[in-house]
Amino acid sequence: MFQRFRELNTLRNQIFIGFLLVMLIIILVSGVFVYDRVSVLLKDNAERHIQQTAVQANGRLDALIGQIDSLMEQVANHPTVQQLLLEELNGNEVSFNQRQSLLQIVSSYQAYMPSVGSLELYTADYRLLFPIKDGSLTARISEPDITEANDQKGRLVWIGVDPDDDQSLLAIRQVSLMDRWFSRGGYLMARIQRSYFQLDDPLSGSDGGESVLLVNDAGQLLGSSETPKADLLPLLESGDQTVTYLDKEYVQVKLRSDKTQWTLLVLTPVSYVTKGLSVLRTVLLVSGGIGTLLFLIMSFLLSTMITRPIIHLIRAMRKSRLGVLTPNSQKVSTMELRELNYTYNGMVANINDLIRVVYEKEVLQSRTELKALQAQINPHFLFNTLEAFNWSLEEKGEEELASLMVIMSRLFRYIMGSPDNKDEWVTLSEEVEQIRRYLRIMEMRMGERLTWDIRLDPHEAAVPVPKLLIQPIVENAINHGVESRVGCGRIEVDIGPSSREGWTLVKVSDNGPGMDEETLAALRHALEGGPSISSKGSGVGLVNVQRRLRLYYMEDGLKSEGLIIESRLTEGTVIMFEIPSNGGYSYESGQQDHIDRR
């Protein structure tokens, strides 16, 4: 199972899961924050709405109370009512006809307010004056209510539910006699239907909205004729904003009426207040789900865009196990991945170039060794034969020829080298000594036709150089320069510091017939890989030297220009090249050990 988990632990899955977790955290945090802020906002709006509803209901209640107060004030100040109460106060008994006249007055006012069930007029000694029947004020209401009416001196006093009719409410006011300095002349009491104060009472058959209740201090519901199933007194005494009534939670707002001393109770179901929160919760969940899904798709696409070029690059790199270094041909639009792909392709190109250089070096070395093997046939037999010639010539007194045999023996030993090819690199002083041996042999062959001069700067004597790098150029100068000249020919080898710091200049010149522009161009073309222009001789020649310079000194950051040839007809030829004074790449990579051992 752990192995399977490791197989799934890919860069794409890491990016995908990382982006997804970040998105989920962002959605969760933002959702909780938005839900909290919006829920607070909705609750505040609901509370303001409830307060506004309470204020509006209180305004309607004040308007209803004002209508009743205005009606009773008009009746109390009517001239007939004032006259009858004044006569009663003066001790004159009011006649039946006078009391009968009050019926028309009261009926005319009641016509404007049908909710007023009846108006009752009492004298100052509590006797019923209207309607025409026997009755007493103390039998209708309690003494505290009468005292309250006296204390209010003409202002309306609300008593509550009528003891004789639970469908009505009672209100009383003292009638002040204007002709007797507003002294107490009697009492006017009104009986109002309870439905008149039913502002908004959906408790019975509730529609789920707000309930506006009118409650007295005893917890009795005044604005409805139905008796509540539970007492409202606990709601009045509770100071909590959220209360439970009839097994249902409400948000309550209480307003006290100064005119009636009753309490206006506004109840709003909690579910009605939080209905917006449910919608908000649903919207947040749906939008969060859609956002997560979209981010899931975008994360997958983005992780695929990032990892797909890397996968192609990995596949290209895996081919190197089979020994095939191929560049990645996939096009990448991302700058970083494009740079990575470009770097890999450059590395593959450099490695392929290095492989090609090493291969060419190995091929060239193999060919050189093969030619050396073909030429030497049996080196030990050849050396022994030359030594025998040397001793034989010395015994016969041919010292010059004996010296020639010694030079040829050393020349062959230098050319053939050791069988394991450990002396591939030599110093310039050793290479110059080999050139001297060769020129001495050529001098003995050509006689006075050849003169030569070699100049080697002492500071350049220890510069490492591949073996037989200069000798083919000297041989070319003799074969194509001195031998083609009529008269004495001259070879000059000049080795010294180059004008370029850290480099050594090697120059070989002759005074031969030179070359025209066409021949010189053909030779330069041959050095760059074109066909050879001469079949004279069997040595490796200038092409071999050029290839060795290119392999040893024109790779890995070294900038040798190779062979530089200057020639004019009748003026001779100059061939020169530059090599690093420190030996270059091959010297630095391990050949110095051999030179030190020599």
Mean pLDDT of 577-581: 91
Provide the b/e sequence for 504-524 (b: ≥16 CB within 10 Å): bbbbbbbbbbbbeeeebebbe
List, in order, residues 6 or more apart from 408 with CB less than 8 Å away. Answer: 386, 441
pLDDT at res. 400: 65
Instruction: Report which residue type is found at 426.
Output: V
pTM of model > 0.85: no
Mean pLDDT of 275-284: 74
Residue given tokens 């004729």 in the structure block: 225
Q: Return the H-helix or E-strand segment holding 358.
A: helix 335-376
Q: What is the number of other CB atoms lying within 10 angstroms of the CB of residue 249?
A: 15
List, in order, residues 6 or more apart from 374 with CB less than 8 Å away. Answer: none
**What does the alpha-carbon distance between residue 371 and residue 379 come to, in Å, rounded to a whole number?**
13
Position 1 pLDDT exceeds 60: no
pLDDT at res. 564: 92
Instruction: Report which residue type is found at 307.
Output: T
- Angle formed at CA 285 by CA 280 and CA 289, multiple of 5 degrees: 145
Q: Could you give phi then psi for residue 193, rounded to 5 degrees?
A: -65, 140
Among 108-122, 290-304, 526-540, which is the least confidently predicted range?
526-540
Residue 364 near residue 548, CB atoms below 8 Å:
yes
Q: Could you give phi then psi for residue 557, rounded to 5 degrees?
A: 90, -15
Strands 489-497 and 450-456 turn out to be parallel
For 11-49, write each residue's pLDDT tens digit: 667 777 777 788 788 888 887 888 777 777 777 777 777
For 218-269, write each residue's pLDDT tens digit: 777 777 655 554 567 777 777 777 788 777 888 778 888 777 778 877 888 8
Gyration radius (Cα) of the chain, Å: 64
Q: State percent of the chain over pLDDT 90.
A: 8
Residue given tokens 């080898």 in the structure block: 493
Structure tokens at 445: 């062959």
pLDDT at res. 343: 84
For 50-69, write each residue's pLDDT tens digit: 778 778 878 888 888 888 88
Residue 173 near residue 188, CB atoms below 8 Å:
yes
For 468-479, write each residue's pLDDT tens digit: 889 889 988 988
